[in-house]
Structure 1
Amino acid sequence: MDQSFRKIISQEITKLDLLLKAFINDINQGPETKEKLRDLNNQAYDVSEHIKLRIEDLEGIIENTPTLKKDINILKEQYSKNINNLRSANLKAQLNFDVLTRSALFNKDIHEKQNDFLKKRKQAKKEELISNSIKLTTGLKDVTKFIAQTVKHSEDNLNLLTKSSSKIYSTNEELHSMDTNIIQSRKLLKKYDRRHLTDKLLIVLALIFFFSAVLYIISKRVSLFGILGFRKKAINN
């Protein structure tokens, strides 16, 4: 009877040992959350307590059988080893959670710094856009003022050109009138030159006629004196 009961307890301890190792392995794999780790630890703790109780039950059965105490010691060593592995797995899992927490905090800090940098950059860009808009508006005002001054200057130049054109037109009219007067004066001068030439010709012809008449008269008198002298000589002879 004791032997059959001992065999049943040993089998149960073996199954519980495998189950405990499975929980330890799950913890070593790294649970996704602390709640999952807590749940695995609770189940592993329950199994380890059952193993401990079953070892105590088995130890009570074989208390009067010294030759089987060696098997009890092996089970106790295996139990202690599983407990140590469970603690190591929990420590490893806790370290992983610490790393993840620190990494999350670091990433959060980086994310916050990035957001702060982006906000500052956006604000600086906004301020730069506002400054550029003000500069552009000022520049447009200056350009508008310059265009207005240019238009006024152009209007003044146009008025000056209009006045100059009027003066030029008036001067042109005066020049045209002077040209007409010059042409008429030239015609009168030509007419006067022709008349002066005619007068000169008439004077020359009058002088020629006068000198011809004088020569004619002189020649007549010379001829007359010659005839008279000849007659006088003839009378004297």
Structure 2
Amino acid sequence: MASSGEFHVRMCGQEIIKYDLEIKALIQDIRDCPGPHSTLMKFNSQVKEKFSKLRLRIQDLEQMAREQDRETDRVAIQEETESQRRQMLSNQTAWRKANLACTLAIDNMEKDELLQGRENLSTRQRKATKESLVETSSNITESLMSISRMMAEQVKQSEDTIGTLATSSMTVQETNEEFKNMTGTIHLGRKLILKYNRRELTDKLLIFLAVSLFLATVLYILKKRLFPFI
């Protein structure tokens, strides 16, 4: 158990040293930061994250000191904890100073750029105006070409539509002629059917008369044979 506790204390101390070195490196990056403010804010965000982790590890080390059985170990770990806490406070002070120096440097640089920019403002405005005119002319030309292409496409579509309508008209006319021919054929067929029906009725009537005559003849012959004296 004792060796395990010593191992955790040693690991915690190593992490504290690692975070301390990383914070020092970030503070140096802030001192050397040329700008802009967004880059400085990014460095500050990283420093805050490292300080948060460092503070937690120092608290863990302090808790480990309370859990030690031997007084000598507890005192040694507490002294190490206080030393690391003082080092953290020193880093926080250095961080604030580096931030202030970097902010002033960036502000002065931006002021210098603003002063130089005013001197060249007229030149840039004229250049920007020319570029804007060129871009506007180019856009107008492109728009005219686009309109011309659209009109050409519409003309082609109109020609295709007219051709389709002409083809459809011819098809309708041909269909109308076919309907007329079919109508004539239907009338002719109707006449033939009516004529056939009349002929069938006449044939039936003639057959009926022939059968009636035949039966009458048969009846007459039978009557003469069977009843000769009547």
Report the TM range for the smaller structure's normalisation: 0.3 to 0.5
Larger Rg, first or second structure (1 or 2): 1
Give the TM-score normalised by structure 2: 0.45
Give the TM-score normalised by structure 1: 0.44
